[in-house]
Amino acid sequence: MADGITISFAPVGRGGSGDLVVFAGDDLVLGSAAREVLGSAGADLIARAAPGEKFKGRSLSALVLPAPAGVDADRLVVVGVGSEKDRAKLEWPVLGGFTAGKVSGRPARVVLDWPGAAVTPENAADFALGARLRAYSFDRYKTKKKPDADDAGTTALTLMLAGHAQAEQAAAAAAAVAEGVTLARDLINEPPNVLTPEEFARRAAALTRLGVEVEVLEPARMRELGMGALLAVAQGSAREPRVVVMRWNGGPAGEAPVAFIGKGVVFDSGGVSIKSAGGMEDMKGDMGGAAAVVGTLHALAARKARVNAVGAIGIVENMPDGAAFRPSDIVTSMSGQTIEVINTDAEGRLVLADVLWHVQGACKPKLMIDLATLTGAIIVALGQDIAGLFSNDDDLAGKLHATGELVGERVWRMPLIPAYDKAIDSKFADMKNTGGRHGGAATAAAFIKRHVNDVPWAHLDIAGVGMSSTASEINRSWGAGWGVRLLDRLVRDHYEAR
């Protein structure tokens, strides 16, 4: 099991120990710094060994050799970065993740240079971010560690490049983002007997250490505020709900904040409309939206982002018991609107409705983005690699889409048309909490929209990306912490004061 990672920066030099990593393009072309560090013996060894190992320098392939005499290293690791065209598409975090995977558990010096192009400090920081994310594993509950496992030990990377001082500076911000993603992953992976709503709130409250103002609302206060929808979901659980409002004031005093709102269902049994047993254990991840919000606030505060940002999460457990809410109940949300409960498993929208309403009134945000593992339907529509985006604002939607492409946390815009809104009209109340089988993700979004005023708003349905994630170069964990890098970068590129 990996024991984590340390990353430092240095000028390019020949002396050292551990593994030595260089990059090679198609036809094994090396950058000038790599040629210098390797000397003729190194370059010669690569040229002779590559054909037998079928190594052609293809993007994200690797050749591992014992280092030749004259090269100060144990192993020589050659990482392929492909043709010029491949290199233009190669994402730096992905390359960092791939490389960290190749030298996992070992000390390694990485010659960060590139055949035919300069590596910027920004590139180096992104590389470091990917390496950090790759090194994450959630092994808190494994009592038997395997000392001889491939990746046992700490990965210790020294990134060697010309602009190492500037790279180090850029990497400090990237490390803050990595911490935010790590925090989100820990929260998602944690089991619900440990991560109760109360415990979740405690962990969010730890952000005060970074200068975040944290307000925790308990049930009595929620009742005063009229959060009847959220409280209905919580009432079947032995564990009290919490609402946590986090404020990071890094921007100009008095400027309206950007607000992020997360669904935090620590376990979703479905309630009285109980889910089937198969796969129900995955529903510990039904708080992935809230985890992303806490992780984002951590990242913003840790890198002292010049922005005013609010994070608000509704944390509940959805359980069936004698006190549980039931299909046919009618509840009143904080907005004053009444909701007929058709299915207690459509609980996330009830939680979001009250938290969104509270944020609009209490924080007067300039925009709101909510994240929620809201519907199985979005997984049917888009799969596990892209999140559904619903928005009342083309500008915000465009920014989210572009940022998603940039960081590799992609979103796809879905429609919000009156037909979806009509589908949630109720016979008995102002609305009902499901809109039937068709367009399940869209009718859920329409429900949320009924709790949003004029403020620009986007809803990210992250049921597919927020949990049981597919392994990638930058993630080996069940919980990927999806959304932290997206929101952090959105802020950095569009909402930070210069």
Provide the binding-site residues for ligand BES, judged by CB under 6 A.
268, 286, 343, 345-348, 373-377, 434, 440, 463
Q: Which residue is nearest to Mn ion (CB)?
A: 345
CA dist., res. 132 & res. 182, Å (int): 9
Q: Which residue has the tokens 């959304």?
A: 483
Residues 266-285, one symbol each (x = binds Zn ion by CB under 5 A, - = not), give --x-----------------
CA dist., res. 292 & res. 156, Å (int): 27
158 makes contact, choosing from Mn ion, ligand BES, Zn ion, none, with CB < 5 to 8 Å by partner type, with none
Smallest gap from Cβ 465 to ligand BES, in A, equals: 10
Distances (CA, A) of 239 to 309, 315, 322, 470: 29, 10, 14, 31
Nearer to Zn ion, 143 or 276 (CB): 276
Please identify, among the stretches 165-173, 265-273, 404-412, 435-443, the one whose residues bind Mn ion according to the rule CB under 5 A: 265-273
448 makes contact, choosing from Zn ion, ligand BES, Mn ion, none, with CB < 5 to 8 Å by partner type, with none
Say whether residue 317 binds Zn ion (CB under 5 A): no
CA dist., res. 73 & res. 158, Å (int): 13
CB of 412 closer than 8 Å to CB of 387? yes
Please identify, among the stretches 87-95, 156-164, 260-268, 435-443, the one whose residues bind Zn ion according to the rule CB under 5 A: 260-268
Say whether residue 113 binds Mn ion (CB under 5 A): no
Q: Which residue has the tokens 């909510």?
A: 370
Distances (CA, A) of 242 to 183, 222, 313, 442: 19, 9, 8, 27
Nearer to ligand BES, 158 or 373 (CB): 373
Cross-strand partners of 472: 475
Nearer to Mn ion, 98 or 325 (CB): 325
Q: Pairing relation of β-strands 431-432 and 338-340?
A: parallel
* Straight-line distance from the first to the last Cα atom of the chain, in angstroms, rounded to the nearest whole number: 42
Report, in angstroms and rounded to the nearest whole number, the Rg of the chain calculated over CA atoms: 24
User: How many other CB atoms are found less than 10 A from the CB of residue 70?
Assistant: 12
Smallest gap from Cβ 266 to Mn ion, in A, equals: 12
Smallest gap from Cβ 271 to ligand BES, in A, equals: 9
User: How many other CB atoms are found less than 10 A from the CB of residue 52?
Assistant: 7
Smallest gap from Cβ 232 to Mn ion, in A, equals: 13
Nearer to Zn ion, 68 or 289 (CB): 289
Nearer to Zn ion, 295 or 348 (CB): 348
Cross-strand partners of 78: 22, 63
Nearer to Zn ion, 70 or 376 (CB): 376
Say whether residue 151 binds Mn ion (CB under 5 A): no
Smallest gap from Cβ 171 to ligand BES, in A, equals: 34
Nearer to Mn ion, 135 or 350 (CB): 350
Buried b (16+ CB within 10 A) or exposed e, 208-245: eebebebebbebeebeebbbbbbbbbbbbbebbbbbbb
Say whether residue 348 binds Zn ion (CB under 5 A): yes
CA dist., res. 440 & res. 188, Å (int): 24
Structure tokens at 212: 């975040």
Distances (CA, A) of 169 to 9, 97, 119, 163, 297: 10, 20, 15, 10, 20
Say whether residue 268 binds Mn ion (CB under 5 A): yes
Catalytic residues: 275, 349
Binding test (CB under 5 A) with Zn ion, winner from 126, 286, 340, 461: 286
376 makes contact, choosing from Mn ion, Zn ion, ligand BES, none, with CB < 5 to 8 Å by partner type, with ligand BES
Q: Which of residues 295-354 bind Mn ion (CB under 5 A)?
A: 345, 347
Please count the residues of this chain forming the interface with Mn ion, following the rule CB under 5 A: 3
Nearer to Mn ion, 67 or 319 (CB): 319
Question: Quick one: how many helices (H) and strands (E) in the chain?
Answer: 15, 17
Smallest gap from Cβ 345 to Mn ion, in A, equals: 4
Smallest gap from Cβ 186 to Mn ion, in A, equals: 23
Smallest gap from Cβ 286 to Zn ion, in A, equals: 4
Binding site for Zn ion (CB under 5 A): 265, 268, 286, 348
Binding site for Mn ion (CB under 5 A): 268, 345, 347
